[in-house]
């Protein structure tokens, strides 16, 4: 995994934090941390978009972020897990892995405007 893909996955970690922060922040320090996480997320996604196709970047970012947020909601906040919910989470994971596998890591294609 190169540094651009790594930045997407780190950005999704911060996305999960700020999404949860939007719901549960109650003090000024928590709101500042939430806003800081939003900023870090967008800096990392912008960095990844310099070398990876924007559609792929956004798809992987939102897919992994969605799965991460759902899993945190289940583990830490007692969200109910149903068979259909588990099925769709699995489908999201399969889709994100599929997009990652079919995306070229060839930086020259990006620089030449082919991607």
Q: How sure is the predictor about 115, in pLDDT bands with cuts at 50, 70 and 90?
A: very low
Q: How sure is the predictor about 108, in pLDDT bands with cuts at 50, 70 and 90?
A: very low
Domain locations along the chain: 3-111
Cα–Cα dist 82/31, whole Å: 32
**Model pLDDT for residues 64-106, shown as the tens digit of each residue:** 999 999 999 999 999 999 999 999 999 998 988 888 888 776 5
The stretch 43-67 carries a mean pLDDT of 91
This prediction has a pTM of 0.76
Q: Of 71, 42, 72, 69, whose CA–CA distance to 57 is shortest?
A: 42
Q: Is 25 left (phi over 0), alpha (psi -120 to 50) or beta?
A: beta
Going by C-beta distance under 8 Å and a sequence separation of 6 or more, which residues neighbour residue 20? 69, 72, 73
Residue 114: per-residue pLDDT: 52
Token pair for residue 107?
């930086």
- With b for 16 or more beta-carbon neighbours within 10 A and e for fewer, the 36-62 pattern comes to ebbebbeebbebbbebbbeebbebbbe
Q: How sure is the predictor about 4, in pLDDT bands with cuts at 50, 70 and 90?
A: very high
């Amino acid at each position: 995994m190169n540094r651009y893909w790594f930045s997407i996955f780190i950005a999704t970690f911060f996305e999960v934090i700020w999404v949860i922060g939007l719901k549960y922040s109650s003090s000024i320090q928590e709101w500042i941390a939430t806003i800081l996480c939003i900023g870090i997320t967008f800096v990392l996604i912008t960095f990844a978009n310099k070398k990876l196709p924007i559609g792929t970047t956004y798809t992987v970012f939102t897919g992994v972020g969605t799965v991460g947020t759902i899993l945190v909601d289940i583990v830490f906040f007692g969200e109910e897990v149903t068979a259909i919910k588990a099925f769709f989470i699995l489908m999201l994971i399969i889709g994100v892995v599929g997009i990652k596998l079919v995306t070229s890591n060839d930086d020259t294609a990006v620089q030449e405007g082919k991607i």
